[in-house]
Structure 1
Amino acid sequence: MPANTPLVYDTPHEIHKADYLIEMALEHRKRLFEQLPQNSAVLVASGHEQIRNRDVEFPFRADSDFQYLTGFGEPDCVLLLVKKETAESVLFLRPRDAEQETWQGRRLGVEMASPILKVDAAYAIDEMQEAVGEYLQNIDSLYFSFAQMQTWMEPVAEWLTNLKAQVRKGVAAPTKLCDLDEVIHEMRLFKSPREIALMREAARISVQGHLAAMRHAADGRYEYQVQAELEAEFMRHGAQKVAFNSIVASGDNACILHYTENSDLMGQHQLLLVDAGAEFRGYAGDITNTFPVGGRFSEAQLQLYTLVLKAQQAAVAMVAPGVPYDRLHEKVADILTRGLIKLGILQGKPAQLIKSQAYKRFFMHGTGHWLGMDVHDVGQYKIKGEWRELQPGMVVTIEPGLYIPAEAEDVDPQWWGIGIRIEDDVLVTQSGHEVLTQGLPRSVKEIETWMQENNVYLQKTDS
């Protein structure tokens, strides 16, 4: 995002408008066209529905790059962008089909695609092979995602073969195949004010879901029952989807980083780690919250939680333009290592243990990741081998953790089965940062007080 871009964000009323995503997509296409060389073309597919079992499909979500450039989410679509003397957007999509729509749901259809999605031309998807071949005449550079090489190589090979066969007619075929990811993913890394407005709402809804989880956790309840409350709250606040499979992990389950079974009974003396986020209009929230099921931390839980929170807050405080990305992790590793030494979980000199990454046994993942349309969003973390500096418009998660499984036999048993992670979504601003996911109790005192006053299964007590 350019330094002189005014940070004026749309209101909640604006971001719910039907054409909001389409207007954003128009802006994105314009920016992409500006970066493309003359005589170039771009291909982006929405993806296909996938079978879950027999004739039942998984819920469909269109490819993020496709949504970014169209504001549209149907399966079996292809967007073609052509830059010659003018810039042209062409969409291939499923035609209207009364019988299919009776069974599977409404389609936009070819006739309405141009006026609604504001593309220059629209065709039925089964016309794509012939039509694209004509659009690619005398194009020099063809862009598509190399991550989808298997999808594109067969039709691209056919287009190139057919075009080369027309050389005596004065038709030239593309001579350069280019990876679209390098261009569009760098664009997506920097969020516009409109995108930030959507991410603020995804963050707000995600916070409400986590508060619902805190209200409904209790001894003898199942993890999936907390998941139900969490995700229902997302929907109550306007998010129709989760950004990723929710993690609701009690006790030792929290030591499994991507635990999604969510099937165990919760115990009175366990911690509950909830890692979940709402997806709002294509943009993800991502929060991890850890709290005691019974409303009170044990002494061991308190000490580890306080250590992780100290590391998390220190890293959040560092977020600002010009800070190299890896400095956040270095700060977290330093604080966690020194804290683990004080607790007797690690033995040795801090500098040596940090250098050898001894902390990785108990903190084995990174401190964060880019956030946007994908929960692990696109964008390079290094430029020419050097960690890139944070810049305004980036959104990053900060999520240190500590995990001490019951199998850690050389560690004092008081620490066994404790898994803690604390995560917030942080926008890099012109002057520093903004925590998008504000509103959760974070300190030990705040959490214990909140649980006693708000958890529906705990008797209210004076804090």
Structure 2
Amino acid sequence: MSFFPKETYVARRRKLAESIGKGTVLLLGNDNVGMNYTDNHYPFRQDSTFLYFFGINKPGLAGTINTETGEAKIFGDDLSIDDIVWTGPMPNLSELATCAGVTVTAPSNKLVEEIAKCQIQNQPIHYIPQYRHRNLIKTADLLDIPINQVNLNASVTLIKGIVALRSIKSEEEIVEIEKAVNLSLDMHEAAIAMARPGVNENTIAAKIRQVAEAAGGTLSFPTIATIRGEILHNHYTGNTLQEGDLLLLDAGAEVRSGYAGDLSSTIPVSGQFTARQREVYDVVYSAHLAAMDTLKPGTEFTETHRAACLKIAEGMNSLGLMKGDPAEAVAQGAHALFFQCGTGHMMGLDVHDMENLGEQYVGYTDTKLKSTQFGLKSLRLGKALEPGFVVTVEPGIYFIPELIDRWKAEKKFEDFINYSEVEKYKDFGGIRNEEDVLITKDGSRTLGRKKTQSADELESLMASITETV
């Protein structure tokens, strides 16, 4: 059935309708998607916005909300006896709808009539951008518009209304997110226990999935478990760990309700960091702490990002890899040779919460626009923080040989970068560290139990595990 009391969904739909004003909201749930033929499909994942407003984790559904009357309807088909042979008995649509506070249901083919009736009455149809091809086709057919125009014509009013609601997490949502964060910590602790010379990345990735699924959850995104940490989203897991390697782990759990966790750790495979590894790790950790110190209502997340970047530039100066004024280097973007991405993002029902609605709408405002500067343009969140936001904090340092070669050849930022020293680090890899944080009315609170983070803590934990084994 639904994950929260029906009153939760009724209140969410009412608030959404009030923010829209006029028209009908159309929200498509997801369908099963075949892997290599129709009946062999990928694990089902409901659309997060549909889940937020209707709470039903079943394929083949659509919902409408009349913004003037507040009436909600759910369209879908009950199982036939041919289906039940394979699935066993399931709750029917009206039973599921009742749990979400919806009293009107209809077969899926009646949705065409519903939308046509709205169009005859000149009611605006509000829908959000679609990320699955099947729903692109459905939307195009329902509204009689070309497929390539569907996302261009998505309702900005609806997008902004959804972002305003989903951005502020309720207490019941925080409970679910914290479950996901703690399960994510279980996954990371399992990986730390396994990260030893001779172990394959695949083995660690498989263990992480096992931990998530054994607890009734799943992965909130494909696991990154790699000794090639300079590749920001490296999903290849075929390498064998060796003495002196760093294992970069970026992995999170999704619990049954759909809420996500997202953590990153960098683990010394030998149990201890080399002197050079510890120096860089400590710079990243100091950047993490600096970013965490900024988190409170009213702070623009661009300032959180800048605090992390400044610590990285200062650290690179102390290591001889950069020079000059760190603040000016950050302003011009020279630090992005080492930190090419953003410090964090919103998190909730999506690990990058509401990303399909558009980063500008989710992470920025009408007056605060995304930057086009390399590095800064990858910051998904820039606007002022509010109580109820859940954000990640994830600074990192990455030595990407191809980027180093490109910038060096272009003589880029030579006033700030010591390329002769940077050359010595081209085989280093990458480091990042990530936690999940709730913005409170007075400041912030790290979600989940304490995470092992500092170099000393990691080395101590790994030593204790070795002694136990």
Do the structures match in fold with TM over 0.5? yes
Change (3 A) 1:345 1:284: same
Q: C-alpha deviations, 1:279-313, integer Å up to 9, x for none?
A: 12111100001111121101011000000000001
Partner of 2:170: 192
* Equivalent of 1:155 in 142, 151, 159: 142
Question: Gapped runs of 5+ residues in structure 1?
Answer: 1-16, 159-175
Q: Is the 8 A contact 2:2 2:56 kept in 1?
A: no
Instruction: Report the structure, 1 or 2, having the larger strand content.
Output: 1
1:60-71 correspondence to structure 2 within 5 Å: 60-71=44-55
Partner of 1:93: 76
Partner amino acid for 2:264? Answer: T
1:324 aligns with 2:306: no
1:127-138 correspondence to structure 2 within 5 Å: 127-134=110-117, 138=121
Cα distance in 1 between the residues matched to 2:196 and 2:302: 38
Q: Is the 8 A contact 1:41 1:143 kept in 2?
A: yes
Partner of 1:383: 365
Query: 303-312 or 436-445: which moved more?
Result: 436-445
Partner of 1:233: 211
Q: Is the 8 A contact 2:265 2:432 kept in 1?
A: yes
Q: State the Cα distance separating 1:151 from its structure 2 match.
A: 4.0
1:207 aligns with 2:200: no
Q: Is the 8 A contact 1:309 1:443 kept in 2?
A: yes
Partner of 1:172: none
TM superposition score normalised by structure 1: 0.84
Query: 187-196 or 227-236: which moved more?
Result: 227-236
Q: Is the 8 A contact 2:13 2:70 kept in 1?
A: no
Query: 342-351 or 88-97: which moved more?
Result: 342-351
Counterpart secondary structure, 2:15? helix
* Equivalent of 1:83 in 57, 64, 67: 67
Partner amino acid for 1:256? Answer: I
Partner of 1:425: 436
Query: 42-51 or 60-69: which moved more?
Result: 42-51
Q: Is the 8 A contact 1:406 1:417 kept in 2?
A: no
Partner of 2:92: 109
Q: C-alpha deviations, 1:21-45, integer Å up to 9, x for none?
A: 655323311221232315x211000
Counterpart secondary structure, 1:80? strand
Q: State the Cα distance separating 1:447 from its structure 2 match.
A: 0.6
Cα distance in 2 between the residues matched to 1:200 and 1:418: 31
Cα distance in 1 between the residues matched to 2:343 and 2:157: 29
1:413 aligns with 2:424: yes
1:262 aligns with 2:237: yes
Cα distance in 2 between the residues matched to 1:323 and 1:25: 30
Cα distance in 2 between the residues matched to 1:254 and 1:19: 37
Partner amino acid for 2:11? Answer: E
Change (3 A) 1:82 1:351: closer
Cα distance in 1 between the residues matched to 2:275 and 2:468: 22
Partner amino acid for 2:163? Answer: H
Q: C-alpha deviations, 1:88-118, integer Å up to 9, x for none?
A: 1100112211212433666543343333333
Counterpart secondary structure, 1:452? helix
Cα distance in 1 between the residues matched to 2:112 and 2:198: 58
Query: 185-194 or 426-435: which moved more?
Result: 185-194
* Equivalent of 2:387 in 386, 392, 397: 392
* Equivalent of 1:244 in 196, 218, 221: 221
Partner of 1:309: 285
TM superposition score normalised by structure 2: 0.83
* Equivalent of 2:35 in 30, 52, 56: 52
Cα distance in 1 between the residues matched to 2:318 and 2:339: 16
Compute the RMSD of aligned alpha carbons: 2.4
Cα distance in 1 between the residues matched to 2:270 and 2:89: 47
* Equivalent of 2:105 in 108, 112, 122: 122
Q: Is the 8 A contact 1:110 1:124 kept in 2?
A: no
Change (3 A) 1:19 1:270: closer
Cα distance in 2 between the residues matched to 1:347 and 1:117: 59
* Equivalent of 1:364 in 340, 358, 374: 340
Cα distance in 1 between the residues matched to 2:53 and 2:66: 13
Q: Is the 8 A contact 1:41 1:136 kept in 2?
A: no
Cα distance in 1 between the residues matched to 2:322 and 2:3: 55
Cα distance in 2 between the residues matched to 1:425 and 1:105: 39
Q: State the Cα distance separating 1:395 from its structure 2 match.
A: 0.9
Partner amino acid for 1:217? Answer: A
Partner of 1:163: none
Q: C-alpha deviations, 1:242-281, integer Å up to 9, x for none?
A: 110011012xx11111111212111121111110110121
Counterpart secondary structure, 2:292? helix
Question: Gapped runs of 5+ residues in structure 2?
Answer: 146-153, 355-360, 369-381, 406-419
The number of equivalent residue pairs is 420
Partner amino acid for 2:236? Answer: E
Cα distance in 1 between the residues matched to 2:155 and 2:272: 59
Q: State the Cα distance separating 1:189 from its structure 2 match.
A: 1.0
Q: Is the 8 A contact 1:41 1:139 kept in 2?
A: no
Q: State the Cα distance separating 1:71 from its structure 2 match.
A: 0.8
Counterpart secondary structure, 2:46? coil
Change (3 A) 1:23 1:254: farther
Partner amino acid for 1:268? Answer: E
